[in-house]
Amino acid sequence: MSSSEGTAAGIYGERFHGTEAAADLPPELTSPLEPQWSNLHAPDARSHSSAGVPRRNGLRAVKTLLRNPNALFGLAFLGAVVIAALTAPILYPDDPLSMVATPFLWPGQDPAFPLGSDSLGRDVLSGILWGSRISLVVGLAATALGLGVGIVVGAVAGYFGGWVDDLLVRVIEIFQTLPSFVLLVVLVAIAEPTVSTITAGIAIVSWPTVARLTRAEFRALREKDFVVAARSLGYGHARIIFREILPNALPPLIVTSSVMVASAILMEAALSFMGLGDPNVVSWGSMIGAGRELIRTAWYLTALPGLAIVFTVLSLNLIADGLNDALNPRLSEER
Partner 1 sequence: MVGFSRIGRRLGRTAIQAVPTVLGIVILNFFLLKAAPGDAADAMAAEAGSATEETMKMLRHRFGLDNTLLVQLLDYLNNLAHFSLGYSPRYNMPVLQLIGQRLPGTLILMVVALVIAVVLGLFVGTLMAIFAGRLPDRVLSIVSLLFYSTPGFWVGLMLIVVFSVNLGWLPSGGSGTIGSDLTGLPALLDQARYMILPATSLALFYVSVYARLTRASMLEVKTQDFVRTARAKGLSPTAVTVRHVLRNALIPITTLAGMHMGSMLGGAVVVETVYSWPGLGRLAFEAVMARDFTVLLGILLLSSLLVIAANVVVDLLHAWLDPRIGARA
CB of 222 to partner 1, least distance (A): 23
CB of 292 to partner 1, least distance (A): 6
Q: Is the Cβ of residue 20 or residue 325 nearer to partner 1 in the bound state?
A: 325
Q: Please report, as ranges, the residues that interact with partner 1 according to CB under 8 A.
A: 170-171, 173-174, 176-187, 189-191, 262, 266, 269-270, 273-276, 288, 292, 295-296, 299, 302-303, 306, 309-311, 313-314, 316-318, 321
CA–CA separation, 27 and 36 (whole Å): 11
Q: Is the Cβ of residue 147 or residue 267 nearer to partner 1 in the bound state?
A: 267
CB 276 within 8 A of CB 188: yes
Q: Is the Cβ of residue 194 or residue 317 nearer to partner 1 in the bound state?
A: 317
Query: Is residue 38 helix, strand or coil?
Result: coil
CB of 175 to partner 1, least distance (A): 9
Query: Is residue 123 helix, strand or coil?
Result: strand
CB of 333 to partner 1, least distance (A): 17
Using CA of residue 17, residue 244, residue 64, residue 326, what is the dihedral sign? positive
CA–CA separation, 35 and 216 (whole Å): 44
Cα–Cα nearest to 43, from 226, 234, 229, 227: 234
Outline where the chain has alpha helix (H): 3-16, 27-30, 42-51, 59-66, 69-91, 124-160, 162-177, 180-190, 195-221, 225-232, 237-239, 246-273, 284-292, 300-327, 329-334
Q: Is the Cβ of residue 25 or residue 184 nearer to partner 1 in the bound state?
A: 184
Q: Is the Cβ of residue 23 or residue 296 nearer to partner 1 in the bound state?
A: 296
CA–CA separation, 270 and 182 (whole Å): 11
CB of 103 to partner 1, least distance (A): 20
DSSP character string of 263-318:
HHHHHHHHHHHTT-S-TTS--HHHHHHHHHTTTTT-THHHHHHHHHHHHHHHHHHH
Q: Is the Cβ of residue 42 or residue 314 nearer to partner 1 in the bound state?
A: 314
CB of 15 to partner 1, least distance (A): 26
CB of 149 to partner 1, least distance (A): 16
Q: Is the Cβ of residue 200 or residue 303 nearer to partner 1 in the bound state?
A: 303
